[in-house]
């Protein structure tokens, strides 16, 4: 039986991404038509029943987020699609944006209708520059076809979608930094509370969801939340886009039902990762992005679902699966992860700004025989704990997750070069 599923990716590669007609051949805009005949609260109920968890990495239940926003007073409410996707190893939103952008747009319009929002924004990663023009063209076409703009499908409801371009800062994917950046301010995180649902973009109630999250909405509306739930895992319905990179044979983005495959399937199945390229042995895998945990081959039989991975000390995160063979030094790999965080730390708070730099010094020493001592290892532990507990935002709080989890599996490599005395 196939390990793949086609809920979001239906029509990918078979339709022209900018063609409304092609999209409609694959059921495009049927969900919007259906949604506009439904009460907003009913749509939210379906999303809740589907147990759709946020696909941007934090896995917050989307139905609960939507229900909360529905009950908040204040107008206008804004819809923001997080298309910042800035972590090395994560490229599944790019798959949606390039191959099936109209599915995400349809999800945004349905969300707009639910919250009677006049304005939505797509915050697009700066490096996806070419997509800016493509998305603008698609938006213009959707307007001309009556699916967007004034009086959508004769319903009396109107919505505009604008594109905001990021400028290459990973921290702007954090939802409050993203809103600051959208407002034209410095892209640094805000203190929370107040929550963005209450005080969001331009101080107004705001919904921020990920590209893949929005792209999942049309199918939930079409098939109903219960069916969507049943296709996935009892704790988290539907499918997940996983993006495989590194030393597996078949790098790419694949859509799998949640809870129906193990990590072994994800890496070795012939329709998915296809096993190790070059015939070497799997040494470790890095899940969910640079801020996610490192896993060991002993954990390959863990089921790929949010709850099963969490129970094993792993996580789905963004859906990234970076596969590394036994030619790779774990410490050198962690050095590259650490360099990413040093580069991307916005500098607002000390634990993240300084912590990442201090970690670099220790990792550098650990690679040179005799250069590090036992105190370095103790300090590394302290830095991990302090950054996790005291950083201002998710970037610093998770910057040491890879090191912390790798420590559990590869402690001997951390200790290998430490001076004996």
Ligand X SMILES: Cc1cc2nc3c(=O)[nH]c(=O)nc-3n(C[C@H](O)[C@H](O)[C@H](O)COP(=O)(O)O)c2cc1C
Contact partner at residue 376 from ligand X, ligand SF4, none, CB < 5 to 8 Å by partner kind: none
Q: Which of 136, 353, 365, 381 binds ligand SF4 (CB under 6 A)?
A: 353
- Shorter beta-carbon distance to ligand SF4: residue 20 or 350: 350
Tokens of 364: 């550098």
Report which DSSP code applies to 41. Answer: H
Q: Please tell me whether residue 320 adopts helix, strand or coil conformation.
A: strand
DSSP symbols for 182-213: HTTS---PPPSSSPTTTS-GGGS-EEEEEHHH
Cross-strand pairs, 80 = 121, 208
Contact partner at residue 5 from ligand X, ligand SF4, none, CB < 5 to 8 Å by partner kind: none
- Shorter beta-carbon distance to ligand SF4: residue 216 or 395: 395
User: What Rg value do the Cα atoms of the chain yield, rounded?
Assistant: 22
Which residue's Cβ lies closest to ligand SF4? Answer: 396
With CB under 6 A, what is the number of residues at the site for ligand SF4?
A: 14
Least separation in angstroms between CB 172 and ligand SF4: 10
Q: Which of 194, 347, 369, 370 binds ligand SF4 (CB under 6 A)?
A: 347
- Shorter beta-carbon distance to ligand SF4: residue 261 or 338: 338
Q: Which of 241, 256, 349, 366 binds ligand SF4 (CB under 6 A)?
A: 349
Contact partner at residue 82 from ligand SF4, ligand X, none, CB < 5 to 8 Å by partner kind: ligand X
Q: Is 276 in the site for ligand SF4 (CB under 6 A)?
A: no
Does 76 sit behind a cis peptide bond, omega within 30 degrees of 0 on the bond before it? yes
- Shorter beta-carbon distance to ligand SF4: residue 264 or 353: 353
Determine the Cα–Cα distance for residues 121 and 117; give it in Å rounded to an integer.
11
What count of other Cβ atoms lies within 10 Å of the Cβ of residue 60? 12
Q: Which of 227, 251, 296, 348 binds ligand SF4 (CB under 6 A)?
A: 348
Are 166 and 181 contacting, i.e. CB atoms less than 8 angstroms apart?
A: yes
CA distances (Å), 404 to each of 3, 18, 342, 407, in order? 31, 44, 17, 5
- Shorter beta-carbon distance to ligand SF4: residue 187 or 237: 187
**Half-sphere exposure of residue 193, counting CA atoms within 13 Å on the CB side?**
4
Q: Which spans of this chain sit near ligand SF4 (rule: CB under 6 A)? A: 171, 189, 345-349, 352-353, 391-393, 395-396
């Amino acid at each position: 039986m196939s390990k793949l599923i086609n809920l979001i990716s239906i029509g990918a590669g078979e339709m022209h991404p900018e063609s409304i007609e092609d999209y409609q051949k694959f059921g495009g805009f049927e969900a919007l038509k259906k949604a506009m005949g439904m009460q907003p609260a009913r749509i939210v109920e379906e999303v809740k029943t589907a147990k759709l968890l946020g696909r941007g990495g934090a896995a917050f239940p989307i139905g609960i987020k939507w229900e909360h926003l529905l009950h908040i007073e204040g107008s206008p409410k804004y819809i923001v699609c997080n298309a910042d996707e800035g972590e090395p190893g994560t490229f599944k939103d790019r798959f949606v944006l390039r191959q099936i952008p109209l599915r995400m747009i349809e999800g945004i319009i349905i969300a707009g209708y639910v919250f009677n929002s006049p304005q939505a924004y797509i915050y697009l990663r700066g490096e996806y520059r070419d997509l800016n023009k493509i998305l603008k063209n698609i938006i213009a076409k959707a307007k001309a076809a009556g699916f967007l703009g004034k009086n959508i499908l004769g319903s009396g409801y109107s919505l505009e979608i604008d594109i905001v371009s990021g400028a290459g800062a990973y921290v702007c994917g954090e939802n409050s930094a993203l809103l600051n950046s959208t407002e034209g301010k410095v892209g640094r995180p805000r203190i929370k509370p107040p929550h963005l649902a209450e005080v969001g973009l331009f101080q107004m109630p705001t919904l921020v969801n990920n590209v893949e999250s929005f792209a999942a909405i049309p199918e939930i509306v079409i098939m109903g939340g219960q069916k969507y739930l049943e296709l996935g895992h009892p704790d988290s319905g539907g499918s997940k886009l996983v993006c495989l990179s590194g030393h597996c044979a078949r790098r790419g983005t694949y859509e799998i039902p949640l809870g129906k495959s193990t990590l072994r399937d994800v890496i070795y199945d012939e329709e998915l990762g296809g096993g190790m390229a070059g015939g070497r042995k799997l040494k470790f895998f890095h899940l969910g992005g640079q801020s996610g945990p490192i896993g060991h081959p002993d954990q390959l039989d863990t089921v790929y679902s949010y709850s099963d991975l969490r129970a094993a000390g792993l996580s789905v995160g963004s859906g990234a699966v970076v596969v590394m063979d036994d030619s790779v030094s774990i410490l050198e790999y962690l050095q590259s992860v650490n360099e990413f965080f040093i580069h991307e730390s916005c500098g607002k708070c000390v634990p993240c700004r300084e912590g990442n730099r201090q970690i670099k010094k220790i990792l550098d020493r650990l690679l040179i025989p005799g250069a590090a001592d036992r105190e370095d290892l103790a300090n590394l532990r302290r830095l991990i704990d302090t950054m996790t507990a005291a950083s201002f935002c998710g970037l610093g709080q998770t910057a040491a997750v890879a090191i912390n989890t790798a420590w559990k599996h590869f402690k001997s490599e951390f200790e290998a070069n430490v001076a004996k005395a």
